[in-house]
Structure formats: C-alpha cells, structure tokens
Amino acid sequence: MKLQLAKWGNSLAVRLPKECTRTAGLHEGDRVEATIGQEGTITLMPDKVFKKTAFLARLAKLHASMRMTKPVVEKMRREARY
C-alpha cells in the first residue's frame, strides 16, 4: 500500500486508511510507537494500554504477600529518625 506524506505544521504526516486502523484496533486519539529500522523501515506499534484493574489486582496480590506484622512496624518506629 502506498501512502503520501503531507505537511503538518513543521512535521510531515501520513494518513492511515480506515482498514489499516480497524485491523490494528486503533481509534482516534490512540497512541502508537514508531521504530526506525537500520534499513530505514518505519514500524508503528500500538502503545501499550495501561489496564487499571489488572494493575490493581497485581498490586493487591503483592500487598497480601508482604504483610507487615506488628513487631516489624514497632521496630521501624523505634529506628525512625525525624
């Protein structure tokens, strides 16, 4: 597929056809990461989406495995320097 570059401010831009964005699962406002290969190839990859629910689940699991017992908290308080 051949695409044309166009001036956009001080930069050049490429319009992506609807079928390309649909196949990649991209929507207006999504972010992509561009990588330049040694041969001058340009690769666009969808930016990794931050999934808050998955992050919170991992955080809760980590927190559960690192519970602070009373002796640890008391020791930290004794050694604290203000």
**CB burial string 3-32: b at 16+ within 10 A, e below:** eeeeeeeeeeeeeeeeeebeeeebeeeeee
Q: What is the pLDDT of residue 26?
A: 87
Nearest C-alpha neighbor of 46 from the set 57, 54, 56, 35 = 35
- Distance of alpha carbon 13 from alpha carbon 2, whole angstroms: 14
Domain boundaries, the chain: 5-46
CATH class of this structure's domain 5-46? mainly beta
End-to-end CA distance of the chain: 65
Q: Which two tokens stand for residue 11?
A: 């930069």
Residue 47 has pLDDT above 90, yes or no: no
Average pLDDT score over residue span 43-64? 86
Q: List pLDDT tens digits, range 1-33.
A: 899 999 999 999 999 999 999 888 888 988 899
Record the pTM. Answer: 0.50
